[in-house]
Structure 1
């Protein structure tokens, strides 16, 4: 095991990955400002829907979040250059984790993956070559890395892709309903809009998505299929970038190839002045038990966490319990309507609560379909009413439509959600059982 994990190999792939990854996370930070994502998500809303239990994570007041993201961008550039790498990578990972956990309105599996990769990178020796750290402190310079570094990254990538494929194995995806719904919203795309409405294109999107996620890592690992797999990867991710507009993720995914191609190939293309490391020394560090223990626990969690929805009652598509942190990417279309009513416990007066006055447009859509955010808004309403001296009960009449199916009652309208506790590991009975009709396939409309 020592020979397998701690044998040193050439670090060209890791070094090149650091450069690209640093550039991409810097673009993510500066791009959030330039595109208005930061303003819409963290500055304009009166409050954010944080991960439950982390209410202390709140956006900075006023316009200070702009400074926050500028600082993140600077840290990203430092990572790219390999300057004070350990510290700059640590602070970016910490700051991005806070951003990710303080809001769920713009929840994205890609943001979650970026958070995990940032923390993994903190522990990887990615600044030992082609970096300012190596230039300023020659003692840190090294052309090699232990093999476990490569294995950790590849295993993380493999878990993500595999679960993304398996999650698509359900009827509405397999019959093309989801692809048809997604593409129907892209009819107006310049040049490719009409093309995306073709039946055979939607069939390709459906099944190529499943197969690509399932076999891309094995194909990249095998030398004979590596080049063709890389070409397919470029097309697949650029297609996703154009059609779904999902930020840096497609380009980050293309850059994963640095961990699969041989160092000889990478040096010939990108770092011709770097001498190939071939010594193959075995260096077992004194912290080996802690290293193996930490990564063992980490990967057990990564493997089990996406399976937790099977421990909850009813379908995760309906309840959303176990949906997040599970690589359930682009799986369903969900819409709905909800009415919030408050009842003054002292007077018995009942009135409809104007939630739109509290929320941004995107938040307003989420609190009509997502049970955890519905519950959080009820707590927020109760707190707001308490400040005005009123003790109220909050009732929600919410109905949802999944994948264009029929509209069905989601929340029990007789339950005071403001008085219900949140249970992280148990089913919530105020989420009504899924009706059989919610799985009715949508009728395709090609007009």
Structure 2
């Protein structure tokens, strides 16, 4: 059985899919990079705020000072175009992977699952060889290859399976099935061109709610089955164009469409997108077992991450512990309120904090509604008040309340816990998060 799997795993296939995806991927990442500057996203997220909220375990990672992040995104856009062109691919793909990973982990205020997916794709693209055909590298070297090992293709198929399977499972929750999330999101979109009047119809909102579950659960199997592949692909394009128009979620819908090419026969991609159709002359590929073991190990980790919240006490929808990196897409909107207070234990004096003195509007929303943001803000306040002469400042979140979607506000963070001294438990439960009523 293992020998058969290994043979299929390393079997040479036409490399048209990976070559085409390299071009599409590079262009999409360039669009994201330059678009982030043009739309003002870089300024809003990285340049204007005084403080930033990186992932806690890389809290040393911060944006470049001044206008540095503009240059950062320009370099990332250029690297993306070089990836698309297949020029100096080893260096350009590595640069793109490092820069995009840094962008992702140095801020959480604009967290999106498609940013995480792009991180995974960037690193995989940097590890493989999609530049041996239809590239400047192959033209300059005079060496062209028309084949690739089958595990290149398998990676993208299995990765997309993981993404959509967990997205479907996550939607079997009251937050999605109740229709609250969709109703809230569509309520303000009645003025959208053409589709606006449809979005506010209760029957259409119910259709989107339940068809969303079916789409996530079935799209990959339908793409794999030859009889339904073309129909599924048309459905995939329609679904993602709708998402792009309604939710404005960047390149993610188009990235998913690009990834769908791996479900088609490689020869079909060759015939459709490339003028020449050479006879496949395979060359030897590395068939070391460690590649196969790393492949399996990676996907075991991908399967575990979205399940980790099951060994953390509490409802992940409430606590947010185990939410990120788990493909729990478009399930909830969170709203919070409360007052941060700094206490000087030496003098007994209390200082009420005006969040707007420290944070942008978007950051204030996150700090009030998400526990990791609240904890990190407490560390910012601790450091700030230490510079003001308070040796051991204590930070409390008084009257902290959160509501999810259209639910009721409920107490969220224990007001008696000094968040400045509390330790963040990244893989477990933080006891100062109050249980859901």
Give me the TM-score of the superposition, normalised by structure 2: 0.96
**Aligned counterparts, 1:161-176, within 5 A:** 161-176=164-179
Q: Give the counterpart of 2:411 among 394, 409, 412.
A: 409
What residue is the counterpart of 1:250 in the other structure? 253
Q: Matches of 1:262 and 1:272 in 2, distance apart?
A: 17
Q: Which runs of 4+ in 1 moved over 4 A?
A: none
SS at match of 1:395: strand
Q: Unmatched 5+ residue regions in structure 1?
A: 436-447
Q: Deviations over 1:260-284 (max 9, x none)?
A: 122332223210224252x566x45
Note the alpha carbon deviations across 1:114-163, whole angstroms, 9 max, x for none: 01000011122211111111111123x20000111111111111100110
Deviations 1:324-372 (A, max 9, x none): 0000111012112121011111100112111211101100100010001
Name the residue aligned to 1:394.
Answer: 395
Contact 2:371 2:433 (C-alpha < 8 Å) held by counterparts? yes
Within-5 A mapping of 1:44-55:
44-55=48-59
State the alpha-carbon separation in 1 of the partners of residues 115 and 25 from structure 2. 14
2:271·2:277 contact (CA, 8 Å) conserved in 1?
A: no
- Cα distance between partner residues in 2 of 1:200 and 1:272: 47
Q: Which residue of 2 aligns with 1:313?
A: 313
* Residue 98 (str. 1) matches residue 72 (str. 2): no
CA deviations 1:251-304 (Å, max 9, x no partner) are: 111111221122332223210224252x566x4526x13312322221111000
After alignment, is 100-109 or 295-304 more displaced?
295-304
Q: Which residue of 2 aligns with 1:290?
A: 290
For 1:369 and 1:133, the matched residues in 2 are separated by 49
Kindly indicate whether residue 212 of structure 2 is the aligned counterpart of residue 209 of structure 1.
Answer: yes
Quote the residue 2:149 is aligned against: 146
- For 1:276 and 1:89, the matched residues in 2 are separated by 29
C-alpha contact (below 8 Å) 1:264/1:276 kept by paired residues = no
> What are the residue-to-residue correspondences of 1:28-427 with 2, within 5 Å?
28-139=32-143, 141-277=144-280, 283=284, 285=286, 288-390=288-390, 391-397=392-398, 398-427=400-429
Equivalent position of 1:440 in the other structure = none
Query: Counterparts of 1:126 and 1:13 in 2: how far apart (Å)?
Result: 9
What TM-score, normalized by structure 1, do the two folds share?
0.94
For 1:417, what is the secondary structure of its paired residue? coil
Contact conserved, 2:378 with 2:420, CA < 8 A, in 1? yes
When structure 1 is superposed on structure 2, of 23-32 and 260-269 the one drifting more is 260-269
Q: Secondary structure of the equivalent of 2:420?
A: helix
Unpaired runs of 5+ residues, structure 2, are: none
For residues 219-278 of structure 1, the C-alpha deviation after alignment (integer angstroms, 9 at most, x for no partner) is: 11111111000000010000000000011111111111221122332223210224252x
> Which residue is 1:8 aligned to?
12
Q: Say which SS state the counterpart of residue 53 (structure 1) adopts.
A: helix
Q: Tell me the number of residue pairs that the alignment of Structure 1 and Structure 2 aligns.
A: 431
List per-residue Cα deviations over 1:89-127 (Å, max 9, x = no partner). Answer: 111000110110000001111100001000011122211
Q: Is the 8 A contact 1:219 1:226 kept in 2?
A: yes
CA distance in 2, matches of 1:97, 1:171: 33
The answer to whether the 8 A contact 2:175-2:331 is kept is no
In the aligned structure 2, how far is the partner of 1:380 from the partner of 1:154? 42
**Counterpart contact for 1:263–1:276, Cα < 8 Å:** no
Give secondary structure in 2 for the equivalent of 1:419: coil
In 2 relative to 1, CA 420–280 (structure 1 residues): closer, same or farther, beyond 3 Å?
Answer: same
What is the SS of the residue equivalent to 2:196? coil
Equivalent-residue separation in structure 2 for 1:204 and 1:275 (angstroms):
46
**Pair 1:26-2:34 in alignment:** no
How far apart are 1:187 and its partner, in Å?
2.5
